[in-house]
Chain A
Amino acid sequence: MFDFNTHFSTFRNYSFLLTELIKRDISGKYKDSTLGLFWSFLNPLLSMIVLTIVFSTFFGRTIENFPVYLLSGKLVFDLFANATLGAMDSIKGNSEIIKKIYVPKYMFAVGIVCSEFINFLISLVVLVAVMLATGAPFFPSLIYSPIPLFFLLILTMGVGLILATATTFFTDIKYLYGVLIMLLSFMTPLFYPIEIIPEEFLFLFKINPLYSAVSCFRDIVLYGSFPQTKFLIFLIISSIVALIIGIFLFYKYQDEFVINI
């Protein structure tokens, strides 16, 4: 049923489409704004400044270098949030094309996830700048950073595919997910330390793969160590599971997209 070779060759044939879509997504984001690409830096920077002002008084003492702590978590979370939201809209947003021309539909979801990832890489400049400004050390452990980022990408892709499939059948998923992502942002220790969470609720955090992703990334950037095994393994497992479910659902229902969008 799933013929890898033909899928691979289709992917190769449409690889130019993927680059064009990524280009369109990235340039589309900044095309008409005067600030352009600078917005990529400004957005996380401003929110970091505000959040730092607000929360450093609460957690400033328990968390060393609060701005870097906040930014490293927030960039990772924003990548996930933006990319999954984008992927969710990707099928409906390109319905005009999908209804008219044969295109591998996952290209649109994959395209937006990739462009958000590139966006994330660009905004890492802000993180570097903040680290320089706050005098944070650059650990050699940074060379491990591709490992959690890769699985974060896998996770995002998987969740994106699930959401893209679900929204074509149920339009209100979009609003539900909006609420969910907000809840998720509070359930991930972005601006507070995990230590403030009572023991009995800690399991809620442990099953959140984003908490694992953020922790892995912080271990590398902030604490100069290899990610903790429990976080890394949970991230890897959850990301692969999400991707498998995503591909399965997408593959199963993609033929019905045309009649539902």
Chain B
Amino acid sequence: MSTQTRYPKVTNQVSSKDSGEWKDLDNVIIDNWESLAVCQLSSGQKPNSFVVSDFDFNIPGDCKIHAIDVRLDYHKDSFQNTIELNPPKVRLVNIRKDCESKPLYSPSISPIERSVLFDGSRISPDEINNPDFGVEVIFDKNQSEFSGELFFDFIRLSINYEEQRFVIGSLNGEGFPVKKKPLQKSVGETFIYTILFNNFNGINKEKQDVIINIPEGLEVVNHFFASDKKGKIDVTDIDYEEDRFDFDKMVEDREIIYDEDILDLDTLTWHTGVKGRGMSRLRLELKCTGEGLKELSAYNKFSGPGAHFYVNVHPEGYEHKPNIYEESLLKWKSQLDKDKDYQTLNKEVVIEVSNVSREFNKAQEKVDNLKEYVIKWLKRELKPKTKFQALSNVSFTVNKGERVGIIGFNGAGKSTLLKILSGVLRPNTGSIHINGKVAPLLELGAGFDHNYSGRENVFLNGAILGYSKEFLESKYDEIVEFSELDEFMELPIKNYSSGMIAKLGFAVATLVEPEILILDEILSVGDVRFQKKSGDKLKSMMNTGTTVLLVSHSVGTIRSMCNRVIWLDHGKIVMDGLTRDVCDAYVEAAKKASEEQLENLEI
């Protein structure tokens, strides 16, 4: 919001024979208490109306004028018996549509600055910049039987306007990659570059183009849009000293200000969707194909270039530290996920669970051998099986990149659901559709043969997870390096410590880059240093769009890891929504739950 304040340079009074002449009218140009224009008025006489003009405004042509604030000071002489006048009419002249208004107060004996406010929304900057643009002050006749003097001290105009403001921003998360601290990536990896295009005030309602500069060696893999769809212009943040102005007038022409975002991938031009106040967001998923320091930027002709984004691409396979910036992106991602539009825009369902039910036989006594079975059958003692419904009619979908936590009291069906999702159990009714490679990190090193060497177990375990020989061979070195067990790989793992086995299991399970990760509790593997390393690995997988399903007994873990939570109780979904909402409701419910239900849970 800007304001220009000017005094007029030209005064002009319209004389007529029965109206009072202003003396020293040019003094209204001078704003001090000594230089006044004076008009002697007799009873029933009105002063000449006068026009002040040539304000020498230079308001940018593409601005939106909010208000024209006319400040003026008039007062009467301090004699006891003197003139009595109504508030003058103040009129804007030489504009397409004349505006007229009155200040609130009649001339009094003390010099007080009065204000007359005009709605500027229908007045263009050109009209105001015109030297002929002026203000006419029209007093009515003196209503008093006495005569006296009317003084006019000054007249001053303030134009309150807003320039169009487009700002290209980036996500200023912690560790924004500046030139000195670029994002660390290696060839083949992907990262996310976000451009925010903010139309701060909606003055310019034309759709804007943003040219994106992506250097060679980076390749756009994917792009997503997300926008603030406020839909309305809202000008409530104008703060005037006097609130006489009818703000409602300014918002009466409400309009939808958002259109579709389009990204032209050939020219890398983003036709932003924002058509008024609001923000368009573009999220580019870029793949590194060449090495070196790369500078990314975006440019709009009004806003200029946004912040430059730097990424340092290392040779393939280079192991870099996790980027702080990407971790702060995670937070942003969870904010975006609240946005329903974003959800629908980026819907790529990877897990679809529809009407899944699973029941178990709840046998009073388990008959697990043929002899007993036959005897009981002969004695007709085989009890009808009572059914226990572990899951009933559970339906939900998980989109790519979501981190879904599953909570519930003991016996709620969490592990049954997890087993069904990982394919170990099959539902009785309903269907599961999973689109992508699932890595169940339910138990590390399940299927390790203790007589096998570490090397052989990598292949055996990889085979159990469903990978091919060629794939495992190509990943073998990476797995060995990650597990830090290089010198032990040829030893049978019966000689390993449990920590070493877990490390190896973790390396096999995660280095195969699964699309969907199923976790039963967050894994803490090995020593403190390896725990951090494995934690970093999980985080970096989440950054690259791996979908995560996590069952945890700790609400704290869920809160810190997930952006969506499904709460199960007695085999049914009680609540499915944002982490905070669901966790809060869950903790509330936990207060009423029985001790048995809460055993081992961490609320």
- Tell me, yes or no, whether A173 is within 8 Å of chain B by CB: yes
> What residues on A are CB-neighbors of B472 within 8 Å?
16
> Contact at A28–B425, with CB atoms within 8 Å?
no
Which A residue's beta carbon lies closest to that of B447? Answer: A97
A53 to B370, CA, bound (A): 40
> Contact at A258–B442, with CB atoms within 8 Å?
no
Contact of B424 among A16, A102, A171 (CB under 8 A): A102
> What residues on B are CB-neighbors of A32 within 8 Å?
451
Jot down 17 A-B pairs with beta carbons below 8 A, ordered by A.
A19-B469, A20-B460, A28-B451, A32-B451, A97-B446, A99-B424, A100-B442, A100-B447, A101-B422, A101-B447, A101-B465, A102-B423, A170-B370, A170-B373, A171-B368, A258-B425, A260-B368
- Tell me, yes or no, whether B443 is within 8 Å of chain A by CB: yes
Closest beta carbon of chain B to A16's beta carbon, Å: 5
- Tell me, yes or no, whether A13 is within 8 Å of chain B by CB: yes
> What residues on B are CB-neighbors of A17 within 8 Å?
463-464, 466
> What residues on A are CB-neighbors of B438 within 8 Å?
102
Give a binary string over A81-104; 1 marks a CB under 8 Å from any B CB, 0 the rest: 000000000000010111111110
> Contact at A255–B426, with CB atoms within 8 Å?
yes
Closest beta carbon of chain A to B77's beta carbon, Å: 99
- Tell me, yes or no, whether A176 is within 8 Å of chain B by CB: yes
A66 to B468, CA, bound (A): 47
> Contact at A102–B369, with CB atoms within 8 Å?
no
Give a binary string over A231-261; 1 marks a CB under 8 Å from any B CB, 0 the rest: 0000000000000000000000001001110
> Contact at B424–A94, with CB atoms within 8 Å?
no
Contact of B463 among A14, A98, A102 (CB under 8 A): A14
B: number of interface residues (CB 8 Å): 32
- Tell me, yes or no, whether B440 is within 8 Å of chain A by CB: yes
> Contact at A20–B369, with CB atoms within 8 Å?
no
> Contact at B463–A101, with CB atoms within 8 Å?
no
Give a binary string over A169-211; 1 marks a CB under 8 Å from any B CB, 0 the rest: 1111100100000000000000000000000000000000000
Contact of B466 among A14, A96, A170 (CB under 8 A): A14
> Contact at A16–B463, with CB atoms within 8 Å?
yes
- Tell me, yes or no, whether B259 is within 8 Å of chain A by CB: no
A13 to B469, CA, bound (A): 10
Leading 10 A-B pairs by shortest Cβ distance: A102-B423, A17-B463, A170-B370, A172-B369, A100-B446, A97-B447, A20-B463, A255-B426, A100-B443, A16-B469
- Tell me, yes or no, whether B533 is within 8 Å of chain A by CB: no
Give a binary string over A143-160; 1 marks a CB under 8 Å from any B CB, 0 the rest: 000000000000000000
A24 to B422, CA, bound (A): 25
> Contact at B424–A258, with CB atoms within 8 Å?
yes
Give a binary string over B394-430; 1 marks a CB under 8 Å from any A CB, 0 the rest: 0000000000000000000000000100111110000
- Tell me, yes or no, whether A31 is within 8 Å of chain B by CB: yes
> What residues on B are CB-neighbors of A20 within 8 Å?
459-460, 463-464
- Tell me, yes or no, whether B467 is within 8 Å of chain A by CB: yes
> What residues on B are CB-neighbors of A94 within 8 Å?
447
- Tell me, yes or no, whether B530 is within 8 Å of chain A by CB: no
Closest beta carbon of chain A to B509's beta carbon, Å: 10
Closest beta carbon of chain B to A213's beta carbon, Å: 27
> What residues on A are CB-neighbors of B342 within 8 Å?
none
Closest beta carbon of chain B to A85's beta carbon, Å: 17
Which B residue's beta carbon lies closest to that of A260? Answer: B368
A21 to B449, CA, bound (A): 11
> What residues on B are CB-neighbors of A255 within 8 Å?
425-426
Give a binary string over A17-39; 1 marks a CB under 8 Å from any B CB, 0 the rest: 10111001000100110000000
Give a binary string over B429-456; 1 marks a CB under 8 Å from any A CB, 0 the rest: 0000000001010110011010110000
Dominant secondary structure at the A interface: helix
User: 8 Å CB contacts to A: which residues of B314-372?
Assistant: 360, 368-371
A112 to B560, CA, bound (A): 45
Closest beta carbon of chain B to A180's beta carbon, Å: 12
Closest beta carbon of chain B to A65's beta carbon, Å: 40
Which chain A residues have a beta carbon within 8 Å of chain B's beta carbons? 13-14, 16-17, 19-21, 24, 28, 31-32, 94, 96-103, 169-173, 176, 255, 258-260
A20 to B467, CA, bound (A): 11
A176 to B463, CA, bound (A): 34
A20 to B446, CA, bound (A): 15
Closest beta carbon of chain B to A182's beta carbon, Å: 18
> What residues on B are CB-neighbors of A28 within 8 Å?
449, 451
Known pairs A24-B460, A94-B447, A100-B440; A16 contacts B371 (CB<8 A):
no
A97 to B449, CA, bound (A): 11
Closest beta carbon of chain B to A26's beta carbon, Å: 13
Closest beta carbon of chain A to B424's beta carbon, Å: 5
> What residues on B are CB-neighbors of A24 within 8 Å?
449, 452, 460
A28 to B492, CA, bound (A): 12
Which A residue's beta carbon lies closest to that of B451? Answer: A31
Closest beta carbon of chain A to B285's beta carbon, Å: 28
> What residues on A are CB-neighbors of B467 within 8 Å?
16
A102 to B368, CA, bound (A): 24
Q: Among the interface residues B466, B467, B469, which one has the most CB atoms of the partner chain A within 10 A?
A: B466
> What residues on B are CB-neighbors of A97 within 8 Å?
446-447, 464
Closest beta carbon of chain A to B20's beta carbon, Å: 100
> What residues on B are CB-neighbors of A13 within 8 Å?
466, 468
Closest beta carbon of chain A to B302's beta carbon, Å: 54
Closest beta carbon of chain B to A252's beta carbon, Å: 12
> What residues on B are CB-neighbors of A100 within 8 Å?
424, 440, 442-443, 446-447
Which B residue's beta carbon lies closest to that of A103? Answer: B464
> Contact at A101–B368, with CB atoms within 8 Å?
no
Contact of A96 among B440, B447, B452, B462 (CB under 8 A): B447
> Contact at B369–A171, with CB atoms within 8 Å?
yes
Which A residue's beta carbon lies closest to that of B472? Answer: A16
> What residues on A are CB-neighbors of B371 within 8 Å?
172
> Contact at B468–A16, with CB atoms within 8 Å?
yes
Which A residue's beta carbon lies closest to that of B509? Answer: A101
Closest beta carbon of chain A to B113's beta carbon, Å: 81
Closest beta carbon of chain A to B425's beta carbon, Å: 6
Closest beta carbon of chain A to B450's beta carbon, Å: 11
> What residues on B are CB-neighbors of A96 within 8 Å?
443, 446-447
A110 to B201, CA, bound (A): 70
A4 to B554, CA, bound (A): 43
> What residues on A are CB-neighbors of B426 within 8 Å?
255
Closest beta carbon of chain B to A257's beta carbon, Å: 10
> Contact at B464–A170, with CB atoms within 8 Å?
no
> Contact at A101–B469, with CB atoms within 8 Å?
no
Known pairs A16-B467, A101-B424, A255-B426; A176 contacts B446 (CB<8 A):
no
Q: Among the interface residues B423, B438, B463, which one has the most CB atoms of the partner chain A within 10 A?
A: B463
A19-B463, A20-B460 given; name 16 further pairs at CB < 8 Å. A14-B463, A16-B462, A16-B467, A16-B469, A16-B472, A19-B469, A20-B459, A20-B464, A24-B449, A96-B446, A100-B424, A100-B443, A100-B446, A101-B446, A101-B465, A259-B425
> What residues on A are CB-neighbors of B423 within 8 Å?
102
> Contact at A169–B368, with CB atoms within 8 Å?
yes
> Contact at A102–B440, with CB atoms within 8 Å?
yes
Which A residue's beta carbon lies closest to that of B361? Answer: A259
Closest beta carbon of chain A to B62's beta carbon, Å: 61
Which A residue's beta carbon lies closest to that of B492? Answer: A31
> What residues on B are CB-neighbors of A258 within 8 Å?
419, 424-425
A17 to B466, CA, bound (A): 7
A28 to B452, CA, bound (A): 9
A34 to B472, CA, bound (A): 31
Closest beta carbon of chain A to B344's beta carbon, Å: 31
A173 to B464, CA, bound (A): 28
Which A residue's beta carbon lies closest to that of B439? Answer: A101
Closest beta carbon of chain B to A227's beta carbon, Å: 36
A32 to B452, CA, bound (A): 11
A259 to B434, CA, bound (A): 23
